[in-house]
Structure 1
């Protein structure tokens, strides 16, 4: 299985970028993984929130196939402990899907079209984090999930 994260907008902070790269490298020992950044919309200030969500939604939908399992990182999504999230990933791997795509949206969330296409929603916390920081937190949790599945000492119970 391939795990892909689609995220809107680049990460400006070099320290965050380095940490993200470190966890992506670590993940490569467990699973085929990629992070794809969709550039911020040009002239977004001229767009309403709905127009911005619709345009971002179209860009995201163009990056996935009908066979992909699409999970939106959304504040209204299901929350998991780290152990339960590792079981969630294992269940997807056992199902035989080829690609599991997680989406980190823009500042206003997701379009109706993306919600309609999504196979599920996942929330990392009831708190709000910056879209740049959530990338690091989520990639670290994916890495943690694989260390849990392999009974490695990274995650202490």
Structure 2
């Protein structure tokens, strides 16, 4: 299985990017991982919230295939603790899917078309995090999940 993370807009903070790079490297020891950045939409000041979500949705859907399992990072999604999340990852790997795609949407969330394609929603917290930081949190939790599955000492129970 491959895990892909899709996000809108590049990370501007160099320290944050260095941490993301570090966890991507760590994660690559366990699974094939892809991180795909969708460029920010130009002239968003001229777009309504709905138009911006629609344009971002079209870009997101252009990056996935019909066989991908789409998981949206959404404030209304299911919440797991880290051990439950590792079990979720194991179940997805056992299901035979080729690619599990996590998507971090834009500032207004996802278009209806993206919601129609998703298989599930995941919330990392009831709190709101910046779109920059959530990338690090997702990749770190993926890494943590795989260390739990391998009974490695990174996660303390």
Consecutive unaligned residues of structure 2, counting only runs of 5 or more, are none
C-alpha RMSD over aligned residues: 0.3
> What is the CA–CA distance in structure 2 between the aligned matches of 1:54 and 1:72, rounded to whole Å?
15
Q: Distance in 1 between matches of 2:154 and 2:52?
A: 39
SS of the aligned residue for 2:12 comes to coil
**1:13-70, Cα deviation, whole Å (9 max, x unpaired):** 0000000000000011000001100000010110000000000000000000000000
Match of 2:65 in 1: 65
Deviation per residue, 1:70-96 (Å, 9 max, x gap): 000000000000000000000000000
Q: Which runs of 4+ in 1 moved over 2 A?
A: none
* Other-structure match for 2:103: 103
**Distance in 1 of aligned mates of 2:62 and 2:84:** 31
Cα distance in 2 between the residues matched to 1:129 and 1:45: 22
Other-structure match for 1:124 = 124
Match status 1:84 vs 2:84? yes
Shift in Å, 1:9: 0.6
Aligned to 1:133: 133
SS at match of 2:40: coil
TM-score (structure 2 length as normaliser): 0.99
- SS of 1:97's partner is coil
SS in 2 for 1:137: helix
Would you say 1:43 and 2:9 are equivalent positions?
Answer: no
Tell me the matched-pair count: 157
C-alpha distance in 2 between matches for 1:137 and 1:63:
22
